[in-house]
Structure 1
């Protein structure tokens, strides 16, 4: 089953089915499959903070360096199931690692950026790609997924619980306050709240923690990699440094696996 088979119409909520070169619902809403292989189910223009092609180019270059491979390996090791989606997937790098580690699985990448959806559609032969907004609601059927992967991306607990169903698995990778602290101090980058871990638990109060992998290591970055690391994320919207130098930086990322409640909550 393709990941597009898990989608539902963003207009009426009915299931979508592939018909020719489009996804269509029983009430005849239709969404074309772009020649790049993705489907836009956003229903409006992308927001101003959606990843740009330049940001995605920088991300692809940096991720190819291997410095975040331990994060990708931890995420892939924590993921389970045959139907796996990555939300805020960007280039689809982490979803591709997950699918490589789980040959029985099919994947779906979601991102609010059209440019990202184009790239993610090519990330892996078993991955489909859609444009969707995690905050506004995912156009995915109730209980369609076994696992949701969320790496440095927005989280919507209610939606994750809905698309996973009871007992579903959520794998979250988030930075700790020490992550890239050297670059944050030198270049005035966006900070990370010291209570970020506590806030994750507060956002998912009824979910069980299945595992926690605290990754802490050093990375020696070239000047180009420092520039790409800054340019590939939200710091790009706040202005990039005029120049970057080589740096030895702290990588501090927590990969946490949560299990959705076995009994669905009421209200």
Structure 2
């Protein structure tokens, strides 16, 4: 075998395909295209060094018949071009992948990442684990979440839902109004490919539909609660019928607080409750 362009020559061992078939197949020689181009052919090393679009010649000479020889040739097609890496994009969205510019405390956050390089398996919904981190840049609190492809071969991935809430709420990401939340994605197969997005946490709109205190009448304690949305803090005052203030307290992390009135005399008490958003 001979590549005229690279100058490489290799000898092929011929083996009969079966007893008395008189058909022989070549064995023992592979072809190799060096990355970056060939520098110097290694003649006789068992590997025919080639380049795209080369012409390969094969000469056969019957060892028992000096006048019996044949020639064949083959044109090499160019190697397919491998697409380059595509940069990822990261966006805060809703569950349907629509862009979101801001959230309020208590909202559920979603992040959409497009990374065509991570569409690894044709016809299958791929999952990317541990590549997305969502962080409250004011407090440093963060959570890592997985991404699931929105459909086979879409190359677009949606995060699992990320719950938010005030400090002490037990939400996946505890935030406060005025905080900035940042989502950062790093391609697990290309650490140089990172993308991110920022979003602002706003104060929720205060909407009060009612107030409760339960149990009523109380035995020892009762719970005062504001019914509505966007309640950041409640303030409660309790008075007896003479107008004397017997209780004054506020809760800064939720819509409710309790009063222990076990040390008060039996009777009717009046309360005033303020909701702050």
* Pairwise TM-score range, normalised by the shorter structure: under 0.3
Q: Which has the higher strand share?
A: 2
Q: Report the structure number with the largest CA radius of gyration.
A: 2
TM-score by length of 2: 0.19
Provide the TM-score with structure 1 as the length reference: 0.19
**Counting helix residues as a fraction of each chain, which structure ranks higher?**
1
